[in-house]
């Protein structure tokens, strides 16, 4: 592998010895690795498409390599294998805020620039010189606190501002879904006093588990009014649980993420609202930022991408439907 001295001009971050080289493949192209939370999730498949579009436009090679489930235990060996191939830069959605810090430090210590996409490590505030997890160059993602607040407003409105709801979530320690739950609870506490938020149900990213948990919560609270599915699998499972309990339209569902299946559920009335992220933009800006850094430009320490709120009133609009995730 041909490594050349980094001779770039202005950079937003201090240039340390470890960061002072960039790697190009033998054909002279930069190689950028994208390590998703898991490979089979429509969210990351869509992110990869956006990343590939940027890679094509900029003439760099993109490698998409991840684990089959959303779990640090399976993600870390994939990351180790990626680091061993010395890519020019790594874009990664770390599956845990703390457990990915040391594995990613290996990349940083090897001089491979790290940018986190979707999820973050540590506090997600990078390049401050504080803490032990601020070495990634940039964090590119949705504003997940805001997304959780938007979900709370949608669910509170759907249930007329009164009644019991709960959050169907993945597991603690994931920056995105932790923040969505925090935003959801904060919004309910501040603005919807008539809404009671029951204990969160953690499903380990397993839609079947989320469906049985819905039925369990309903068995314990027959006056359950609504559920917020904090990511794709939580929302899909919660919706299925509502349907299996024969409560479609009675227990209201607000979904985070927008795969085709959730959109179908909007059309049947099972799901009220889906908050679509813009994963293709996250992937696109990830590659553009990596190349900008590799060619000597400064890059922002954080880039926020937007949301599209989908419901029965707008889902047929092509300007809305274009944000449905690719499968
Ligand atoms: O919601 C997305 C992503 O933002 C989150 O970090 C993990 O779950 C998804 O990939 C959806 O399954």
Closest CA to 305 of 326, 321, 286, 325: 286
- pLDDT of residue 17 exceeding 90, the answer is no
* Residue 224 dihedral angles phi and psi, to the nearest 5°: -60, 130
CA distance 289 to 13: 13
Query: What's phi and psi for 243, nearest 5 deg?
Result: -65, -45
More confident residue, 327 or 88: 88
Q: Which domains does the chain have, with CATH numbers?
A: 3-136+278-306 (3.40.50.2300), 144-277 (3.40.50.2300)
Q: pLDDT tens, 178-202? A: 999 999 999 999 999 999 999 999 9
232 CA to middle of ligand 1, Å? 6
Would you state the pLDDT for residue 137?
Answer: 98
Position in ligand 1 atom list of the atom nearest CA 233: 12
d(Cα 316, Cα 193) in Å, to the nearest integer?
34
CA distance 315 to 263: 8
Q: What is the mean pLDDT of the chain?
A: 93
Is the whole model's pTM more than 0.85, yes or no? yes
Per-residue pLDDT at 6: 25
**Which atom of ligand 1 approaches the CA of 279 most closely?**
4
Ordered DSSP codes for 2-27: EEEE------SS---GGGSEEEE-TT
pLDDT at 87 over 70: yes
Q: Cα separation of 137 and 120, whole Å?
A: 11
Buried b (16+ CB within 10 A) or exposed e, 21-43: ebbbbeeeebbbbbbbbbbebbb
Query: What token pair was written down for 162?
Result: 């009164």
Q: Is 119 in the pocket of ligand 1 (CB under 6 A)?
A: yes
The protein residue with its alpha carbon nearest to ligand 1, atom 2, reads 231
Which of 118, 172, 183, 325 best tests ligand 1's pocket when mutated (most atoms within 8 Å of CB)?
118
């Amino acid at each position: 592998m041909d490594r050349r001295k980094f001779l770039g001009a202005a950079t937003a971050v201090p240039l340390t010895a470890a960061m002072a080289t960039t790697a190009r493949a033998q054909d002279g192209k930069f190689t950028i690795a994208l390590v998703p939370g898991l490979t089979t999730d429509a969210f990351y498949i869509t992110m990869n498409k956006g990343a590939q579009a940027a890679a094509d436009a900029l003439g760099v090679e993109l490698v998409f390599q991840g684990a089959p489930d959303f779990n640090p235990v399976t993600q870390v060996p994939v990351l180790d294998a990626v680091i061993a191939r010395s890519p020019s830069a790594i874009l990664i959605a770390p599956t845990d805020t703390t457990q990915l810090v040391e594995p990613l430090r290996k990349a940083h210590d090897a001089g491979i620039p790290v940018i986190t996409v979707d999820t973050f490590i540590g506090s997600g505030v990078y390049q401050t010189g504080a803490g032990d997890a601020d070495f990634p160059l940039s964090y590119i993602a949705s504003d997940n606190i805001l997304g959780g607040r938007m979900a709370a407003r949608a669910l509170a409105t759907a249930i007329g501002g009164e009644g019991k709801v709960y959050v169907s979530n993945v597991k603690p320690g994931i920056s995105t879904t932790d923040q969505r739950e925090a935003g959801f609870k904060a919004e309910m506490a501040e603005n919807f006093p008539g809404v009671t938020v029951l204990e969160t149900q953690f499903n380990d990213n397993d839609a079947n588990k989320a469906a049985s948990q819905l039925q369990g919560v309903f068995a314990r609270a027959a006056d359950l009014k609504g559920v917020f599915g904090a990511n794709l699998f939580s929302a899909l499972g919660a919706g299925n649980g509502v349907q299996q309990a024969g409560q479609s339209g009675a227990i209201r569902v607000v979904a985070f993420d927008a795969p085709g299946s959730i959109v179908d559920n909007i059309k049947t009335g099972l799901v009220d609202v889906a908050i679509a992220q813009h994963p293709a933009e996250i992937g696109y800006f990830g590659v553009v930022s990596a190349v900008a850094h590799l060619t000597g430009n400064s890059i922002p320490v954080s880039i926020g991408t937007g949301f599209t709120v989908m419901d029965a009133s707008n889902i047929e609009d092509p300007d809305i439907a274009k944000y449905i995730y690719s499968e």
